[in-house]
Amino acid sequence: MYVSARTDYAVRAMLSVTVEHPRLVKAATLAAAQEIPLSFLQGILLDLRRAGLLHSHRGVDGGYALARPAEEITVGDVVRAAGGALATVRGLPTTHATYHGAAFGLHDVWVAVEEAIEGVVDHKTLAELSTIKESA
């Protein structure tokens, strides 16, 4: 699995919004807190909103808030909303990888890898991750 900067930033932004709940969080605040370029983050936040993971509120007191409880949003939801595939082979979905001859069985390995990744990211919620504290 390759985790792109976009995917990493999306998960980090969602976790920042999670820990601030129920307060609204401005994009600039998220960008500064997680050291993410603001212009890049704004596009990510738009995708997260379109995917139904965030609500945005306009105005001076506006910002972003979770659209659903953190217990219902998984890392997999965020990864997919950010446009990231959970696993790829040469940039293609694992189901599109075709092999012949001695490598024929490799397709099943890549599909199993993707399923294993799904087993982790689709069962780890933002609520769970937001309770883990940095050790000193």
Structure tokens, 114: 């993707």
Domain map of the chain by residue range? 5-130
pLDDT at 8: 95
**What are the per-10-residue average pLDDT scores of the chain (136 residues)?**
89 96 94 95 97 94 95 96 84 85 92 92 95 72
Taking a C-beta distance cutoff of 8 angstroms, is the pair 54, 114 a contact?
no
pLDDT at 94: 84
Domain 5-130 classified CATH 3.40.50.1820?
no
Q: Model pTM?
A: 0.87
**Letter for the amino acid at 116?**
A
The rounded Cα 104 to chain-centroid distance in angstroms is: 32
